[in-house]
Amino acid sequence: SQQGEEDPQALSIQEGENATMNCSYKTSINNLQWYRQNSGRGLVHQILIRSNEREKHSGRLRVTLDTSKKSSSLLITASRAADTASYFCATDLINAGNNRKLIWGLGTSLAVNP
Amino acid sequence: SAVISQKPSRDICQRGTSLTIQCQVDSQVTMMFWYRQQPGQSLTLIATANQGSEATYESGFVIDKFPISRPNLTFSTLTVSNMSPEDSSIYLCSVGWLAAGYNEQFFGPGTRLTVL
């Protein structure tokens, strides 16, 4: 299986704290993306990092990528109750030709308590 | 970006029947994907439905069970055939572009299917 893995599977924190989620993958990638899913809804793209990038910021989100370790981390700073959701990493494989698809991680369920 | 709608949003069906899920996009897209997601689980890709070609199914999924239509660049359907309780799941469609060389996907709200 080429499925990525996230840890932790579940994370519970207090508002204002930082949340860190990790993702590992197995093959060479073109880019790695993080998505958010509110309960029972569709996924929403959060941030993308290319294979030649090491760190990227978007608002309160910070993503890092270590291609030597085949891993990525997503940091949400100063968390809010509205950040409560599941977060999935997805890898876009290199040299996938015309049949491009994303390989999805197992997800981290984040609960931010008021 | 794209706005994607799915119909129905949810349904409860009897064993042995079939359900067709519609996915409508507000703009023309090349790549369209159908996923299944069990409660609390990750996404499993069923098939890729690119306009102008037959759908490409992932291992474990077959056309007889999950026939897909892609008549144009803004619409697709997924049928779940001869349903069993194991087919109870959320079904998601998504669209993607290869803009700037990367595959970012936009998702519909999902169809929650319960099979009795």
Q: What is the pLDDT along chain B (116 residues), one digit of tens a residue?
A: 789 999 999 999 999 999 999 999 999 888 899 999 998 889 999 999 877 778 999 999 999 999 999 999 999 999 999 999 999 999 999 998 766 566 788 999 999 999 99
**Is any Cβ of chain B less than 8 angstroms from the Cβ of A99?**
yes
- Structure confidence by residue, pLDDT tens digits, A14-60: 999 999 999 999 988 889 999 999 987 889 999 999 999 999 999 99
- From A40, A42, A92, residue closest to B103, measured CB to CB: A92
**Is any Cβ of chain B less than 8 angstroms from the Cβ of A57?**
no
The H or E element that residue A76 is part of is strand A71-76
- Asked if B103 lies within 8 A of A45 by C-beta distance, the reply is no
Interface test with A, best of B37, B54, B103, B107 (most A CBs within 10 A): B103
A88 pLDDT band (50/70/90 cuts)? very high
CA dist A47 and A36 (Å) reads 10
Interface test with A, best of B105, B106, B113, B114 (most A CBs within 10 A): B105
* Among candidate residues B84, B56, B71, B82, the one with its CA nearest the CA of residue B22: B71
**Is any Cβ of chain B less than 8 angstroms from the Cβ of A54?**
no
Query: Helix (H, G, I), strand (E, B), or coil: what is residue A83?
Result: helix
pLDDT at site A95: 58
* HEC string for chain B: CCCEEEECCEEEECCCCCEEEEEEECCCCCEEEEEEECCCCCEEEEEECCCCCCCEECCCCCCCCCCEEEEECCEEEEEECCCCHHHCEEEEEEEEECHHHCCEEEECCCEEEEEC
Residue A62 CB contacts under 8 Å (≥ 6 apart), including other chains: A55, A56, A74, A75, A77
- From B42, B90, B101, residue closest to A107, measured CB to CB: B42
Restricting to B residues 60-89, those with a Cβ less than 8 Å away from any Cβ of A are none
Q: Give the distance from residue B101's alpha carbon to the nearest chain A alpha carbon, in angstroms.
A: 9
Asked whether the beta carbons of B1 and B106 are under 8 A apart, the reply is yes
**Is any Cβ of chain B less than 8 angstroms from the Cβ of A97?**
no
